[in-house]
Amino acid sequence: MTIRIAGIGTNLPEKVVTNDDLAQSIDTNDDWIRERAGIRERRVGGITSEMAVAACREAMAQAGAGPDDIGLLVLCTTSPDQTFPATSAVVQAGLGLSCGAFDVNAVCAGFLYGYVTAYGLMCVPGGPEKLLLCGSDAMASLTDWTDRGTAILFGDGAGAVVLERHVEGELLGWDLGADGSLGSILYCDHGGFIKMEGREVFRKAVRAVVGSVDKALVNAGIQASDVDVFLPHQANIRIIEAVASRVGIPMEKTHNVIAHTGNTSSASIPLAMAQAQADGVLEPGAIVCMTGFGGGMAWGTAVVRW
Ligand code: ACO
């Protein structure tokens, strides 16, 4: 008996901000943003708990799971509604769950940290049969909309999965890493806005993610050429291209949403996963590699057999 992803759900706020909209108030333009980041538009105005509830409902519906079936809720977020209670508690109540719930904050690597943690908890004696794992971030609320170095990149969104014990699906290999000495290149103070050294983050992210994917593939005992579906954190299409080429996975195997969402932090990998599902590539047995990086710096990779 192993553990599979039984349902996927997503939520994006309604309000769309295009690159042309941004260019009305900051010194930038659509061509530059599309060429340098691969982003055309992003959604804003989301509230972390509300987006999470909506994404979780969709994932539960796809998995055929009701509130009483969920044994644990893990919410990955770096933009909690309040300092406390944990936003997972708000989501737990919103969904009518009676199980335990907690937040994980590993910024844009959150979904990977959450996934490996959730998987481990399901494997311990007495672990839940079904678990809700959600990434939800309202990055627009942490963005200084007068700073062209960051305002072009971020957006709001949520993605959720139901994990369940099953005969199909398994975690083949994983890697989680962090280098806290790099905190100053990407951070957000309490009550402040995201501060970022873009070029430095770019360089460090590519190196960290390539190393992480390599380690996870070795742990899984497979080669890059065995990967069928590659779901990288949606931060910048040029980072995705650089990572894919260095790791040796063709871009055709990536499934991206960044053009329409921007960087949604913890939500970006489940949003890309939903895209892969819509593209019809998440067949039983497919080898799926998810990888992400972010503030910390923290990074992580999970290689799963669907
Ligand atoms: N619009 C127009 N021109 C711009 C803009 C803009 N928004 N920003 C910078 N420029 C100009 C610069 O002034 C510079 O001009 P110059 O050559 O005349 O000096 C030129 O464009 C190049 O600037 P760079 O900063 O070198 O641009 P770069 O190619 O590095 O792209 C970017 C910037 C998109 C921010 C990139 O560095 C990046 O994506 N970095 C990674 C960011 C990231 O992934 N962060 C999220 C991490 S996940 C998390 O945890 C939150």
Has 29 been annotated as catalytic? no
Q: What angle do CA 233, 85, 294 make, to 5 degrees?
A: 20
Question: Where exactly are the structural domains of the chain?
Answer: 2-166, 170-305
Q: How much distance in Å is there from the Cα of 284 to the middle of ligand 1?
A: 39
Contacts of 78 (CB under 8 A, 6+ apart): 105, 106, 107, 108, 110, 137, 142, 188, 265, 266, 294, 295
In tens, the pLDDT along 79-138 reads 999 999 999 999 999 999 999 999 999 999 999 999 999 999 999 999 999 999 999 999
pLDDT above 90 (res 167): no
pLDDT at 178 over 80: yes
CATH class for the region spanning 2-166: alpha beta
The helix or strand, by DSSP H or E, that contains position 132, with its residue range, turns out to be strand 130-138
Query: pLDDT of 208-258, one tens digit each?
Result: 999 999 999 999 999 999 999 999 999 999 999 999 999 999 999 999 999
**pLDDT of 202 strictly over 70:** yes
Letter string b/e over residues 188-227, b meaning 16 or more CB atoms within 10 A of that residue's CB: beeeebbbbebeebbebbbebbbbbbbbbbeebebebeeb
pLDDT of residue 250: 98
Tell me, in angstroms, the distance from the centre of ligand 1 to residue 148's CA: 8
Q: How far is CA 188 from the centre of its chain?
A: 18
| Alpha carbon nearest to ligand 1 atom 42, residue | 198
Pocket perturbation via mutation, ligand 1, pick of 202, 238, 243, 263 by most ligand atoms within 8 A of CB: 202
Best mutation site among 19, 21, 22, 36 for ligand 1 pocket (most ligand atoms within 8 Å of CB): 36
Reported in sequence order, the residue ranges of 20-124 that DSSP labels E, i.e. its strands, are 41-44, 72-76, 100-104
How high is the pLDDT of residue 301? 98
Question: Nearest CA to 13 among 279, 271, 194, 273?
Answer: 271
Mean pLDDT of all residues in 165-190: 95
Q: What pLDDT shows up at residue 1?
A: 66
CATH superfamily of 170-305: Thiolase/Chalcone synthase (3.40.47.10)
Distance CA 78, CA 135 (A): 9
- Which two tokens mark 247? 């790791």
**Nearest CA among 23, 14, 10, 134 for reference residue 70:** 134
Query: Are 156 and 14 contacting, i.e. CB atoms less than 8 angstroms apart?
Result: no
Q: Which residue's C-alpha comes closest to atom 21 of ligand 1?
A: 32
User: Which amino acid would we find at residue 140?
Assistant: A
**What is each CA distance from 149 to 13, 139, 165, in whole angstroms?**
23, 14, 43
Answer for the pair 108, 114: CB distance below 8 angstroms, yes or no. Answer: no
Q: Whose CA is nearest to atom 47 of ligand 1?
A: 294
Does 198 sit in the ligand 1 pocket, CB within 6 Å?
yes
Structure tokens at 93: 């109540």
Domains 2-166 and 170-305 in one fold? yes
Strand segments, DSSP code E, in 145-237 are 156-166, 170-178, 186-188, 194-196, 229-232
Strands 72-76 and 130-138: parallel
For ligand 1, is residue 109 a contact (CB within 6 Å)? Answer: no
Q: Which of 108, 134, 188, 289 is catalytic?
A: 108
Which pTM does this prediction carry?
0.97
For 8-12, 34-38, 167-171, 182-186, which range has the lowest pLDDT when averaged over its residues?
167-171
233 is catalytic: yes
